[in-house]
C-alpha cells in the first residue's frame, strides 16, 4: 500500500450489525498492519416521503446514525478507540456513498449479514453493490458465529486460519 490521496485509507461501512462490527475490527487489523488510516462510515438517509421529514428536521435521523456508529465502535474496540480509526456520518444511501468513497480508498470493507444455509451464500444489497461497482478492492466480512467457528486456541492447529473468506468469482481491480 502506498501513500497518497487514494492509498493509505481503508473505509469500513458500519450499520450496527454484528457483521459490520467484525468488518470494523478487520479493517483496523489490516490498517494497523499496512500503516493505513481507517474511516468507519455510517450512512443514513431520509425514508421515502422525505419531504415531510425534512420539514421536521434531520436531527433525529443523524442522531440515530451517530448512536449506531458510536455503539459499533464500542463493541469493536471497547473504550480505547485506536488512533488510526476515525468515524464519519454520511448523508446518503449506503450503496452509492460507499461506492463513491471507494474512489479515494485503498480498500473498502463491508459486513455481510447471513442467515445460514442457502441464504448464507448470498450477499446483501449493500455488499453486493460494493463488490460489483467499487473502484478499489472490497473485503466482505462475515458475522462471527461462535458456535460454528469457535476461536482457535493460541498454538492450536489451524490457529492462523482467518474468519474472512474470499468471494468466489469476485473481480479484482
In order along its 173 residues, the chain shows pLDDT tens digits of 444 444 589 999 999 999 999 999 999 999 999 999 999 999 988 776 655 655 555 566 788 889 999 999 999 999 999 999 999 999 999 999 999 999 999 999 999 865 544 444 555 788 888 988 999 999 999 887 744 444 544 443 333 334 444 444 445 44
- Nearest 5 degrees, angle CA 117-CA 127-CA 120? 0
Mark out the alpha helices in 2-49 (DSSP H runs): 18-34
Residues 161, 164: Cα–Cα separation, whole Å:
9
**19: left (phi > 0), else alpha (psi -120 to 50), else beta?**
alpha
CATH architecture of the domain covering 9-142:
3-Layer(aba) Sandwich (3.40)
56 in helix, strand or coil?
helix
Q: Would you list the domain boundaries of the chain? A: 9-142
Task: Give Cα 85 to chain centroid, integer Å.
Answer: 12
Amino acid at each position: 500500500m502506498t501513500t497518497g490521496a487514494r492509498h493509505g485509507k481503508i473505509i469500513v461501512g458500519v450499520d450496527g450489525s454484528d457483521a459490520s462490527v467484525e468488518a470494523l475490527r478487520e479493517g483496523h487489523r489490516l490498517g494497523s498492519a499496512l500503516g493505513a488510516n481507517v474511516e468507519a462510515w455510517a450512512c443514513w438517509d431520509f425514508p421515502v416521503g422525505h419531504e415531510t421529514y425534512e420539514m421536521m428536521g434531520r436531527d433525529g435521523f443523524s442522531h440515530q446514525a451517530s448512536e449506531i456508529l458510536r455503539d459499533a465502535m464500542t463493541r469493536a474496540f471497547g473504550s480505547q478507540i485506536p488512533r488510526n480509526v476515525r468515524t464519519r456520518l454520511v448523508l446518503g444511501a449506503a450503496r452509492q456513498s460507499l461506492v463513491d468513497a471507494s474512489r479515494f480508498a485503498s480498500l473498502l470493507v463491508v459486513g455481510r449479514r447471513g442467515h445460514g444455509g442457502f441464504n448464507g451464500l448470498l450477499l446483501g444489497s449493500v455488499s453486493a453493490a460494493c463488490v460489483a461497482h467499487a473502484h478499489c478492492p472490497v473485503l466482505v466480512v462475515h458475522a462471527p458465529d461462535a458456535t460454528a467457528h469457535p476461536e482457535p486456541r493460541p498454538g492450536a492447529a489451524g490457529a492462523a486460519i482467518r474468519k474472512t473468506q474470499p468471494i468466489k468469482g469476485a473481480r479484482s481491480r
